[in-house]
Structure 1
């Protein structure tokens, strides 16, 4: 009796050696292979398809829905302000910065530090040449520097001298605007707000903003469920667009109870500048207020030029400096104070987005004097001392059905205190 031939439970090796005089055996059936392909196709049609398409996608919790349909102006403003009030400070070491429309400018890696009420330090660099752009602001002044600018200079201006100066021509809106773009945006009770009005599936609020340069108009688009600030558009009194920030791919940081954009597109037409920033891995409320971090940099070979008292025309726009730079030529030598690396959060309230590993810690480095070559000097690393607020359970706001236009009550909307 002839036994029934058994089917192979797996495919044979792709290549094999035949003995002398042997004839190739009949190829085994391909049913197992077809079964594997069919199973893979079924998986792609199921819930795991998104993970297959994007294996690096964050698996963190979804942001809570804090607004109900028909939420009033006061309720929307309160939800936005509560989110912003939970952010004491902000830092990232692995942002990616691109300059659309300027083909010669390479993608830059960025470090960003931000702290309330208006302190900012952004440094962009390449892995080969080191720091290429330094932009910042402290309580007294603002500055910007492009390594390849001609003539070489570090430009700065006091806030109280910004209006009408050469600094305003180079950068029509102060660097603190980037804080709003990154997620610090809020509705101030000293400004005038109207709305909400429908904006697709979202809502729009129109504001008259009191700024150091005078009254400006602003349009803010807010997610109608999660109170995310999606779009910010600022206009001059004569209706010209001054700056735009588009926020995308928000992440929720449950330890801080905060939602922040992962990608930000910033446009300043008068500065001839457009930036796209992917913020990378962000840490919240872990940054020590080190005065050196916000101090005006001192760079070897780059004189400090005060644009506050200088007439318009002394320098070109910030975007023009980036566009005119020869990015293929050797970088000029510069002693630049590099932003210190982030420390790994160790205390409660040190917030990372869920699913994102913390940045690696590094050994402390010594502050150096201005070097003659391109090797940057470094500030001392930060130490964690701030314990942020505990996670706040979001509660839906509403429902309410507002009139066509509403205004802030006297004294504004109270925000949740930061402990």
Structure 2
């Protein structure tokens, strides 16, 4: 198990003149998770494992559907899901061994993703107060965290250029706010239409593009652009499955890209349970404690992140899911 010198403070161990050195695997883990915090809506309470994605998804929209009709179908699908979990998921990134993963999400922004490879490797989570990341390979050993209300001005933005809530939307759980102006629907070919929204202050606006199947109303793609039109993040959703108990249609496969960080990864979920979580939500979405790992606040003034090469996987302390 990694250990830290007792004479060094966390700030000294991470500030090598004012810059945080972390392993490439630490950066990889952060992007997998905190590049993954949260949106779902109320709905059916009956738990059910989503059926195989090969089952056809029925038409939900008329030909040439209006903006209101499309938004209603997308919002209704998300509103059927109070929580989502997968205990047989896989996370893959080019150049790295795949991780076995457990995934849990609960409205409004609680999330837990735990990755395993020859022992625990990754723990990413969020609750109403904060988000956190733990990676077995981080050097010096640490659990990183950041309060949601400090995210915008924190070092977390150096490696995650969009707000944490985006990752939950990447699971297909999109809700369009009735007070937000929506552009579209714009046909983009292949039986798909595009909806575009904008947010943020003038000069710092971000644009969100959501691509929807014009027949089923399924969310197929999501993209985020900055004020200059630079793409910050993308998610492509596929292998959708119908949950007959709730009526929700959810993806089994998600490809995520973060162009500014030159990162991409895929999440494959062999099982998806709707409105059922594996254990006590209070414990599940509480920031864990890993013996031998310091806690580092990513909102520390002046904290910057510099990735460094990493070694091989190694076993780490067990933490209950």
TM-score range relative to shorter protein: 0.7 to 0.9
Q: Which of the numbers 325, 338, 356 marks the counterpart of 2:320?
A: 338
Name the structure 1 match of 2:61.
67
> Equivalent residue for 1:136?
125
Q: If you compute each CA radius of gyration, which structure gives the higher value, 1 or 2? A: 1
Shifted more, 249-258 versus 170-179: the winner is: 170-179
Q: Distance in 1 between matches of 2:252 and 2:231?
A: 24
Q: Once the 2 structures are TM-superposed, how far is the Cα of residue 327 of structure 1 from its aligned partner?
A: 2.1
How many angstroms apart in 1 are the aligned matches of 2:124 and 2:163? 10
Question: Residue 110 of structure 2 contacts residue 128 of structure 2 at CA under 8 Å; is this kept in 1?
Answer: yes
Task: Identify the residue that residue 198 of structure 1 maps to in structure 2.
Answer: 187
Aligned pairs for 1:183-332 within 5 A: 183-200=172-189, 201-209=191-199, 215-287=205-277, 290-313=281-304, 315-316=305-306, 320=307, 324-327=309-312, 331=314
- Report if the CA contact (8 A) 2:212-2:220 is conserved: yes
Please list the CA deviations of residues 134-165 of structure 1 after superposition, one character each: whole Å capped at 9, or x if unmatched.
11111011111221122221111111111121
Q: Does 1:115 align with 2:97?
A: no
Q: 1:182 to 1:59 in 2, by over 3 A?
A: closer
Runs of 5+ unmatched residues, structure 1 = 1-56, 340-419
2:54 touches 2:239 (CA, 8 Å); kept in 1?
no
SS in 2 for 1:80: helix
SS in 2 for 1:95: strand
Shift of 1:206: 1.0
Find the aligned partners of 2:63 and 2:246 in 1 and give their Cα distance.
Answer: 25
Contact 2:53–2:239 (CA under 8 A) maintained in structure 1: no
Q: Deviations over 1:343-400 (max 9, x none)?
A: xxxxxxxxxxxxxxxxxxxxxxxxxxxxxxxxxxxxxxxxxxxxxxxxxxxxxxxxxx
Residues 64 and 210 of structure 1: is their aligned pair in 2 closer, same or farther, counting only changes over 3 Å? farther
Q: 2:76 corresponds to which residue? A: 82
How far 1:74 moved relative to its partner?
A: 0.7
Shift of 1:185: 1.4
**Is the 1:119–1:176 Cα contact (8 Å) retained in structure 2?**
no
Q: Secondary structure at the match of 1:84?
A: helix
Unaligned segments of structure 2, at least 5 residues: 1-50
Q: Report the TM-score, using the length of structure 2 for normalisation.
A: 0.78
1:167-214 deviation per Cα after TM superposition (whole angstroms, max 9, x unaligned): 211322344322111121121223221100111121011111359xx6
CA distance in 2, matches of 1:189, 1:302: 44
RMSD of aligned residue pairs (Cα, Å): 2.2
Distance 1:125 1:59 in 2: 25
> 2:14 matched to which residue of 1?
none
Runs of 4+ in 1 over 3 A off after TM superposition: 57-61
Tell me, what secondary structure is at the counterpart of 1:79? helix
For the Cα contact (< 8 Å) 1:300–1:336, is it kept in 2? no
Preserved CA contact (<8 Å) 1:108 1:125: yes
Name the one with the larger strand percent. Answer: 2
